Amino acid sequence: MSDPVARPVFFEGQILGALDLQDTVEYSRGRDARHSRYLHTWGIATGLELSQKEKEVDVNGTPVKYQEIWLSPGMAIDGRGREIIVSEARRLSEALFDELNVAVQEKPGEEHLYPVLLMGRDRSAPPSTFTISDCANPEPTRQLEDYEITFRGPGEDLGLENQTPPDVSAGADTSNGQPWLILLGYVKWNNTITKFKGFENKSGSTGRRYAGVLADEVAARGGRLLLRTRIKNQSDKPALVLDETDGGELKFGLFNAEGTLVPVLTVKANGDIITPGMVQSKASSGTVYVQSGIASDGVVLPLPAGVKPEDVTGKGTLHVQVSMRLEDLAPPASPAGDWAPVPIECSVDADRRVRCQVRWVQIAAAPNFVDRPGVCNYVLLVGIPATGG
């Protein structure tokens, strides 16, 4: 059970100790941490991107290329609500990677990805040189909210979503000594020259995690609410807009080069849905769907748009009409002569597969015929019964 949050109060004539002042600071820190923890989701807030610079190292007289991996400045919020600030670009340390001994043997053609992780770490500033008496021991008067970068073995990033959050009233400090890890990306390692080969932002479906917002209600002040996938309006990126135009409308689309949303779907307040694209939906009850066209021998007749095979095998009723298509038929090229087409098969089996063949009979010749795969015209109707009907 966690302790209640204590807010320092003071009275006239109170003698203030260091702890009183410390509690004042901690109260604000804890409140900020709880806000970040419960009104936001943890992750990268800005920056903290990996980049690489190609370099070369001499190995027994042979130049071998490698990559220096750099981390850009930025900020993250960890799962305890602690801000982690990287104030300047920093090169990832090959020596640290080597020292951590996370590299695994790679078979030919294999390339492992090693998670790069960021964690907040407090560090005491150098002690103050000024004291009230020469006898007092100088102690630090500042705590630096620093960070560390570390590496893990391949696949050891999978448990990051399951890190244990602190008690509800706790502040941002790592009381149990376990740092909260934030994934920045992955590096590739050359074990021969003990240098990085490159980096990736994702490994399969796992990748950098960005901070988010926890909210059950999001409200705009200007009558227009915009949801987009990038920090700025970016060309060819999608967005969703809810605004009060014409009594209210919902628009989904892509931004154009001018940063204007070009809607591909608009829902009006009067219920109209406008789209230049196609609306596909699950087959609805009480509806007859139609498809028609031409199909050659052996083909399975396609179902109408929106109808799935399970709709037909379930409650739906399938009606099919096929007839031999005689237009544009070409007789056998040889032997030369007059040929007459005779339909000998034109049907659809239980799998909706067309069976269509035509027999070409040579006229004014000894009995001679050639069978050819045929083509049929088809009409296919799928009736989906009304619910309860």
Partner 1 sequence: MTDKMTLIVVKKTGHVLGVVTRESDPEGKLEPKDVAGEKLLVRFAGSAFSAAQFFVPSDELAVEVKDFDPVVVTRPREFYLNADKQVTGTTGTTTITPQSNTQIRVAVAAVAAKTPAWIQVLSKNDPTDTQVRQGEIDVGQKQVDLDVLPLSSGDVYHVFALVGGRDQIVQDVTAP
Interface mask (CB under 8 A) for partner 1, residues 60-89, using x and -? ------------------------------
- Backbone phi and psi for residue 138, each to the nearest 5 degrees, phi listed first: -65, 135
Record the tokens describing residue 171, joined without a space: 């502040």
Compute how many other C-beta atoms are within 10 angstroms of the C-beta atom of residue 363.
Answer: 9
Contact flag: residue 348 with partner 1 (CB under 8 A): no
**CB of residue 276 to partner 1, shortest distance in Å:** 15
Compute how many other C-beta atoms are within 10 angstroms of the C-beta atom of residue 83.
Answer: 17
Tell which one of 149, 361, 370, 381 touches partner 1 (CB under 8 A).
370
Element of type H or E holding 99: helix 94-100
Contact flag: residue 295 with partner 1 (CB under 8 A): yes
- Which one, 112 or 352, has the nearer CB to partner 1? 352
Tell which one of 163, 254, 297, 383 touches partner 1 (CB under 8 A).
297
- Which one, 140 or 298, has the nearer CB to partner 1? 298
Contact flag: residue 27 with partner 1 (CB under 8 A): no
Contact flag: residue 181 with partner 1 (CB under 8 A): no
Separation CA 35–CA 201 (nearest Å): 28
- Which one, 225 or 370, has the nearer CB to partner 1? 370
Separation CA 272–CA 257 (nearest Å): 28
Separation CA 98–CA 60 (nearest Å): 21
- Backbone phi and psi for residue 219, each to the nearest 5 degrees, phi listed first: -125, 140
Residues contacting residue 253 through CB under 8 Å, at least 6 positions apart:
238, 239, 261, 262, 263, 264, 265
Contact flag: residue 298 with partner 1 (CB under 8 A): yes
Contact flag: residue 278 with partner 1 (CB under 8 A): yes
**CB of residue 353 to partner 1, shortest distance in Å:** 6
**Residue corresponding to tokens 């706790």:** 170
Contact flag: residue 328 with partner 1 (CB under 8 A): yes
Contact flag: residue 318 with partner 1 (CB under 8 A): no
Tell which one of 6, 158, 220, 300 touches partner 1 (CB under 8 A).
300
